[in-house]
Amino acid sequence: MPANEVIIKPQNNTSLFQEFIKNSTKSPSRKAQQNFLNIITSVADIIKKICVSEKLILDVNYDGKKYWQEAKKYQACFIDGGVYSSFLSSSAPFAIRAKSYIVKPDEALHKREVFEETVKFVGDLYDADTNLFDLSEDPYEDNQLLTKKKDAARITFETAAIVRHIFEKQKFEYCFLHGPLQTPIMPFSGPEFPLFKKNVIKTILPFFKIDESSDLDRHFINVYLSSINYIKKSKYPIFGIVERTGSTIYLRNLLFVAQRKGLISEADYDKTIGLIKRYKINDGNLFELILKDCQALKPLEVQKQIPSKAWGEWQNQMDSFPKVFVSYLRTNKNQAPIRVESLSYPKKLAKDFEYILATSKLLPNYGFPAGLDIIDKAAKIPSWLGKTAKGYYLKYYLNLALQSKDPTTITTALKAISDGDRKWKNRPKAGRLPR
């Protein structure tokens, strides 16, 4: 046993928690921690050399007071979505919206800020004929499907909000989405995933000629692809901003390009990729070591969709998605860089990054665009509204059960309403039994 490792033998009168605290404070694995620090530092050195060689590091100008004298004339739009659906049943209706926060600082007070529900829908989103409610006997898989349906709905409505602004020829200096501008669609390619209802598509996507389309065109992947292609035609810059990232998309693509250019050997490429995977190094924690405050990485063109991982016949659609330009911007010396995505290489990169940086500096301790923070709070479906809606839905659910006159169905509905299932909170409390 190495000299610096200590094995603590628990005593009969001590708890696991006590021993855990003692081990954490008195004898942590210094070797393992030091090894991780050495590894991530060595990887950061390799990546920084590549970035310097390729001139990818960009210093972004920032003089807040001077900058806003000009930027206050800019009209910008910030978009985020909120969704609610009861987990009682995968057939439960959705309440979903995508809101826009439009701001032009130099306008008169009553016109300076506008909040609008750009797209919204309440009801059944998915076609009942293709919506599988009893996919498996495993409740985990059922909940996974419901989560996917909620994610697909939110993504669809957020992109539809951007589409609506473009379709209505609204003029912005910038448009920002809270989250990635393009999401990997592989999780939604399974055979169990339903189609959107026709009236949903008609409501949210004005450019979509639903009467001329096939049923399969109402699948999330095809709807999403149509929206992304429409967004790509925008005449003003549109960015997706990700505040926390566990992705390695920039790292992997940077290393791949460097290896093809001969900047690193194939052996070093394989070794570095192996270290990134083994130690779970991601873009965020690595570029935090490389970038200084007010520095950015120039965009790299990446392919987000991986056709080989798609189910069934979705490979052509995945190949049809445009590539994404991914970059990182350090907006705060105490925070990891934010990820910036666009569907085209920014025509005015320095100017665009300067605006993102300036709006992020308005939140000095957080370092994220203030407009996106505002719309994030505004777009969420309030918990009180969700609980109220769930209450009404449970009554409706019980009424349907009573009409069936089936004792088992009625019992199931009553359990749902009374929360009488086998749950943790319903377990017997610790303590003495009553005499």
What residue has token string 């032009």? 104
Is it the case that residue 268 has pLDDT exceeding 90?
yes
Q: What distance in Å separates the CA atoms of residue 271 and residue 269, rounded to the nearest whole number?
A: 5
Q: What distance in Å separates the CA atoms of residue 304 and residue 326, rounded to the nearest whole number?
A: 10
What residue has token string 């081990």? 23
Q: Give, as one character, the DSSP assignment of residue 13.
A: T
Is it the case that residue 1 has pLDDT exceeding 50?
no
Per DSSP, what are the bridge partners of residue 301? 325
User: pLDDT tens digits for 4-59?
Assistant: 444 545 555 556 677 766 666 665 566 666 788 889 999 999 999 999 999 999 99
Which candidate, 335, 251, 250, 327, places its Cα nearest to that of 293? 335
Q: Where on the phi/psi map is residue 195: left (φ > 0), alpha (ψ -120 to 50), or beta?
A: beta
Higher pLDDT, 25 or 368: 368
User: pLDDT tens digits for 104-130?
Assistant: 999 888 889 999 999 988 778 888 777
pLDDT at site 74:
96
pLDDT at site 423:
61
Dihedral sign for Cα 176, 171, 350, 361, please. negative
CB atoms within 10 A of CB 91: 16
pLDDT at site 273:
95
User: pLDDT tens digits for 199-254?
Assistant: 888 888 877 776 666 888 899 999 999 999 999 999 999 999 999 888 999 999 99
Mean pLDDT of 126-143: 63
Is it the case that residue 425 has pLDDT exceeding 80?
no
Q: What distance in Å separates the CA atoms of residue 241 and residue 296, rounded to the nearest whole number?
A: 14
Per DSSP, what are the bridge partners of residue 241? 178, 340
Q: Are 338 and 329 in contact (CB under 8 A)?
A: yes
CA separation, residue 65 to residues 71, 296, 333 (Å): 10, 21, 20
> Count of residues for the chain?
435
Q: What distance in Å separates the CA atoms of residue 154 and residue 168, rounded to the nearest whole number?
A: 21
Q: Where on the phi/psi map is residue 123: left (φ > 0), alpha (ψ -120 to 50), or beta?
A: left
What residue has token string 């399969």? 216
User: How is residue 195 written in tokens?
Assistant: 């189609």
pLDDT at site 135:
45
Is it the case that residue 288 has pLDDT exceeding 90?
yes
Is it the case that residue 430 has pLDDT exceeding 50?
yes
Q: What distance in Å separates the CA atoms of residue 331 and residue 357, rounded to the nearest whole number?
A: 6
pLDDT at site 27:
59
What residue has token string 């529900």? 117
